């Protein structure tokens, strides 16, 4: 009878983690509201004609033990790394004392991390490495220029007042122009010199040429327990049926614990009492939910708009916060029709390229990345032995010309780009296609972002409001970061701590956690 009423806005990783943790603690009546019809946010998995799409790609790796323990509770079956000399077919090598993925769905497979850059019809390692393949691909002259450029950058550092300077300081101007400049502009729709260096500090942190050198030397000399930058990890865990499987499992547990989840509930108004507490959440369909505690993972822009009587300046700043939206075109092809195959000795499914992602640096196409779902998990593909299931990823802005194109036109455009870069011979080989669009996938670090601290200060004046997750904090958090913000929020709620700085400080520390790149 004395349970506190909690409303959680958003059923992505942050929202579901918060709901689960509060119900586990006991003493809370938890209601979760999700605007869309699916759970997991950008970490959801889409079933398309029997094959599954991982929206955006999610590597399950973290240095935060709270996160890895949480994953293990929900997905108890653990797979062992597949040996390099075994093709990754339906048989995924499993610890003899562990779970058999053929018989158990709740399995975390262990996958090799392979992502490369496709630049001028050549594959390069990503993160950029000092391998023979890199030198061969660049050529001796370009390699020498890159080395001299790096030495110059190491001696004379640029002021890090934008993302371009951030990258140049760590890689030199030559490598920056080859491997970072064009792709970053595709991702954000802005040149790197127009973007805050804070984005680089959060996403690549310790990664640089010197970090790559240390990693290479550590391997050569067998240094044990060496610190490995997260962007250099070589393997990661992955749910058998994609990341959405874990979040669907979390939702099942929440309802088992007595929580209530509503989908199709877009929050449009949040009422506050005379003391500034959030007391009522109202949805577009007219439904109302009272609350004593409010946890929000909805975009800051929408949250501020929903709050009653925010200060004019706060409305202006939050209203001008920028986002990048996201589209994926899934294409099913016969395995022998996908032509990107060269470059590495690592195993691949049926001889196709072994990458999880291929970063497309070619500026003549809008295509940003190619996901190969076969290599994330063989169980994502309905006919794994005979087909390759890929996702063509595009970064865009809601309302632009590409966003509003009919599905058939946009898919045709995407197929033509795949032909242009030589990945397929023609569009006639496509067996099936599917398009997914994601709003506000990436909170951006330009526009009014330099003033965002003022919005945070205002939100912290609402005593019972806790902002969590990627969009809930307007920070490019990975999945494990988003979960960590909820751990911190729940800790504040349980202990009665009114200082919310620990929630906001996730992903600002020097060490970096990764689940997605």
Q: What is the pLDDT of residues 410-437, one digit of tens each?
A: 999 999 999 999 999 999 999 999 999 9
Q: How confident is the model at residue 497 (pLDDT cuts 50, 70, 90)?
A: very high
Alpha helices for 139-242 (secondary structure H): 140-155, 163-179, 181-188, 198-203, 209-220
Mean pLDDT of the chain: 86
Q: Which of 392, 390, 393, 350 is nearest to 372 (CA)?
A: 390
* CA-only gyration radius of the chain, Å: 23
For position 83, what pLDDT does the model report?
Answer: 36
3-state secondary structure of 176: helix
Q: How many helices (H) and strands (E) does the chain have?
A: 17, 20
pLDDT single digits (tens) 256-308: 999 999 999 999 999 999 999 999 999 999 999 999 999 999 999 999 999 98
Retrieve residue 282's tokens.
Answer: 């109202």
At residue 506, the 3 state secondary structure works out as: coil
Quick one: DSSP state of residue 158? Answer: P
Which of these, 469, 468, 480, 479, lies nearest to 67 by C-alpha position?
480
Distance CA 238, CA 470 (A): 21
318-332 residue pLDDT tens? 999 999 999 999 999
pLDDT, tens digit, for every residue of 197-234?
A: 887 766 665 454 455 445 444 443 444 544 544 445 77
Backbone angles phi, psi at 151, to 5 degrees: -60, -40
pTM of the model: 0.88
Q: How confident is the model at residue 346 (pLDDT cuts 50, 70, 90)?
A: low
Q: Are 458 and 336 in contact (CB under 8 A)?
A: no
The helix/strand/coil state of 40 is coil
Question: Are β-strands 357-360 and 115-119 bridged in parallel, bridged antiparallel, or unpaired?
Answer: parallel
What are the C-alpha distances in Å from 179 to residues 138, 142, 188, 194? 11, 13, 15, 18
φ, ψ of residue 218 to 5 degrees: the values are: -60, -40
Percentage with pLDDT > 90 across the chain: 64
d(CA 401, CA 398): 9
**Neighbour count for residue 165 (Cβ, 10 Å):** 19
Look at residues 116, 206, 240 and name the one whose alpha carbon lies nearest to residue 513.
206
How far apart are the C-alpha atoms of 250 and 228, rounded to whole Å?
30
Residue entry with tokens 């597949």? 82
Instruction: At 418, list the tokens.
Output: 């795949």
User: Which DSSP symbol is given to 307?
Assistant: B
Rounded distance between C-alpha atoms, residue 98 and residue 216, angstroms: 32
**Residue-level pLDDT at 196:** 87
Read off the pLDDT of each residue in 40-69 and give the average, rounded to a whole number.
94
pLDDT computed for residue 515 by the predictor: 38
What is the separation of C-alpha 127 from the centre of its chain, rounded to a whole number of angstroms? 16
Q: Is 177 exposed, middle or buried (0-12, 13-18, 19+ CB in 10 A)?
A: middle
Chain segment 376-410, per-residue pLDDT in tens: 998 999 998 899 999 999 999 998 889 999 999 99
Contact (Cβ atoms closer than 8 angstroms) between residue 80 and residue 98 = yes
């Amino acid at each position: 009878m004395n349970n506190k009423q909690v409303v959680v806005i958003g059923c992505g990783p942050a929202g579901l983690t918060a709901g689960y943790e509060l119900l586990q603690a006991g003493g809370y009546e938890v209601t979760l509201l999700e605007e869309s019809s699916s759970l997991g946010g950008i970490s959801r998995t889409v079933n398309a004609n029997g094959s599954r799409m991982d929206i955006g790609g999610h590597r399950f790796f973290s240095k935060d033990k709270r996160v890895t323990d949480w994953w293990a509770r929900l997905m108890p079956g653990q797979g062992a790394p597949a040996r390099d000399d075994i093709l990754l077919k339906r048989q995924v090598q499993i610890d003899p004392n562990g779970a058999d993925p053929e018989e158990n769905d709740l399995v975390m497979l262990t996958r090799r991390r392979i992502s490369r850059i496709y630049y001028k019809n050549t594959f390069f390692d990503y993160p950029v490495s000092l391998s023979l393949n890199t030198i061969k691909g660049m050529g001796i002259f370009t390699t020498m220029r890159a080395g001299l450029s790096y030495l110059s950058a190491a001696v004379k550092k640029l002021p890090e007042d934008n993302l371009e300077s951030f990258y140049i300081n760590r890689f030199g101007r030559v490598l920056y122009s080859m491997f970072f400049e064009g792709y970053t502009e595709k991702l954000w729709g802005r040149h790197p010199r127009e973007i805050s260096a804070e984005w680089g500090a959060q996403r690549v942190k310790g990664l640089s040429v010197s970090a790559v050198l240390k990693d290479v030397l550590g391997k050569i000399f067998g240094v044990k327990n060496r610190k490995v930058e997260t962007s250099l990890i070589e393997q990661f865990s992955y749910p058998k049926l994609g990341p959405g499987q874990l979040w669907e499992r979390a939702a099942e547990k929440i309802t088992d614990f007595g929580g209530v989840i509503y989908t199709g509930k877009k929050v449009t108004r949040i009422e506050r009492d005379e003391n500034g507490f959030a007391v009522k959440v109202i949805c577009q369909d007219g439904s109302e939910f009272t609350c004593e505690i409010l946890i929000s993972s909805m975009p800051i822009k929408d949250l501020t708009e929903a709050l009653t009587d925010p200060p004019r300046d706060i409305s202006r700043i939050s209203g001008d916060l920028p986002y990048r939206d996201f589209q994926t075109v899934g294409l099913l092809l016969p395995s022998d029709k996908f032509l990107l195959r060269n470059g590495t000795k690592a195993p691949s499914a049926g001889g196709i390229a072994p990458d999880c992602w291929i970063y497309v640096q070619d500026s003549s196409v809008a295509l940003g990345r190619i996901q190969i779902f076969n290599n994330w998990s063989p169980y994502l593909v309905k006919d794994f032995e005979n087909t390759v299931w890929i996702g063509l990823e595009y970064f865009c802005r809601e309302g632009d010309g590409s966003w509003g194109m009919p599905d058939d036109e946009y898919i045709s455009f995407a197929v033509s780009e795949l032909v242009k870069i030589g990945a397929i011979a023609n569009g006639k080989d496509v067996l099936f296609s599917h398009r997914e669009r994601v709003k506000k996938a990436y909170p951006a670090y330009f526009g009014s972002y330099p003033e965002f601290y003022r919005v945070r200060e205002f939100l912290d004046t609402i005593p019972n409001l806790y902002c969590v997750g990627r969009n809930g904090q307007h920070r490019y958090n990975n999945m494990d970061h988003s979960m960590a913000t909820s751990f911190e929020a729940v800790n504040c709620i349980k202990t009665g701590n009114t200082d919310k700085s620990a929630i906001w400080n996730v992903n600002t520390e020097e060490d970096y956690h990764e689940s997605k790149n």
